Amino acid sequence: MVVYAAQGDPQKSMALLWRTASPDTERPGPKPGLSVDLIVDAAITIADAEGMAGLSMRAVGDRLGRTAMALYTYVPSKSELLDLMYDKALAELAGFREGDGWRSDTVRWANDLWDFYLRHPWVLQVSQARPVLGPHEYVVLESLVTILRRTGLRPVMLRRLVSALYSCVREPARTAAESRLAEKVTGQSDDEWWYARSAFLKEVSPDFAERFPTLSWMEGEQAFRMADETVSYLEQEAREAFEISLAVLLDGIEVAMKVE
């Protein structure tokens, strides 16, 4: 399921994301036993392990030895919590350093992003429409734009390339990430799953080769689903789609540089 950015008071959301609140003077009442960061960390741990479907306020509370309602002291709603999780996770990508040239740097940036998405598959379920406007989103963006600025292309073009680069990482990463999660949750590997299904495919459509001749031709010549031992065939395909899209996009940038 897709999760949209929090719909609450924008001022408070932004203050929480950028951590500009905290007067932190001595105040009456019992000392806080939790903190926003503790809660966000617990939530990220759960989401990494169980996926977005396993992330409930009760689950986060349990992990911290509290009830679900205790969290609402620190965080106004689940959707704000998700924004905070998203931003905090992105902090992992904040350490990017520029290297030799724009092309190799872009490849490195894209690979870091790919790895990040596979570490935190749930991040891909946070909607990009109405994006989370947290600090680390901008840090990651700043890294990429800094790299690409060296191409000398104009800002208009750059903005489009940024979107295109994100696309070519995100979509295949989503497939790969969902594939891993499905294996964890169902206990069945992709390859097993595919093997079971494809048997029934022949049963249910015995004339498959006549109905889909070109498709059958394309699939027919491949070495038969020789998956590597640790990574499913489907995930390998996703990875290849990512690499080819990226390579072609980078070639396209070089062409654009010569034209301008």
Binding site for DNA (CB under 7 A): 26-34, 55-59, 61, 65-70, 72-74, 77-79
Contact predicate 75/66, CB 8 Å: no
| Contact status: 187 vs a copy of itself (CB under 8 A) | no
Contact predicate 85/45, CB 8 Å: no
Burial class (CB in 10 A: 0-12, 13-18, 19+), 34: middle
- Tell which one of 48, 50, 112, 178 touches a copy of itself (CB under 8 A): 178
Contact predicate 190/179, CB 8 Å: yes
Cα angle for residues 107, 110, 111 (degrees, 5° grid): 85
SS3 of residue 126 by DSSP: strand
Which residues ranging from 61 to 90 are in contact with a copy of itself (CB under 8 A)? none
Least separation in angstroms between residue 32's CB and DNA is: 4
Which is nearer to a copy of itself, 69 or 94 (by Cβ)? 94
| Contact status: 101 vs a copy of itself (CB under 8 A) | no
- Sign of the alpha-carbon dihedral angle for 215, 218, 223, 225: negative
| Contact status: 118 vs a copy of itself (CB under 8 A) | no
Least separation in angstroms between residue 155's CB and a copy of itself is: 5
Q: With contacts defined by CB under 8 A, how many residues of the chain interact with a copy of itself?
A: 85
Least separation in angstroms between residue 70's CB and a copy of itself is: 25
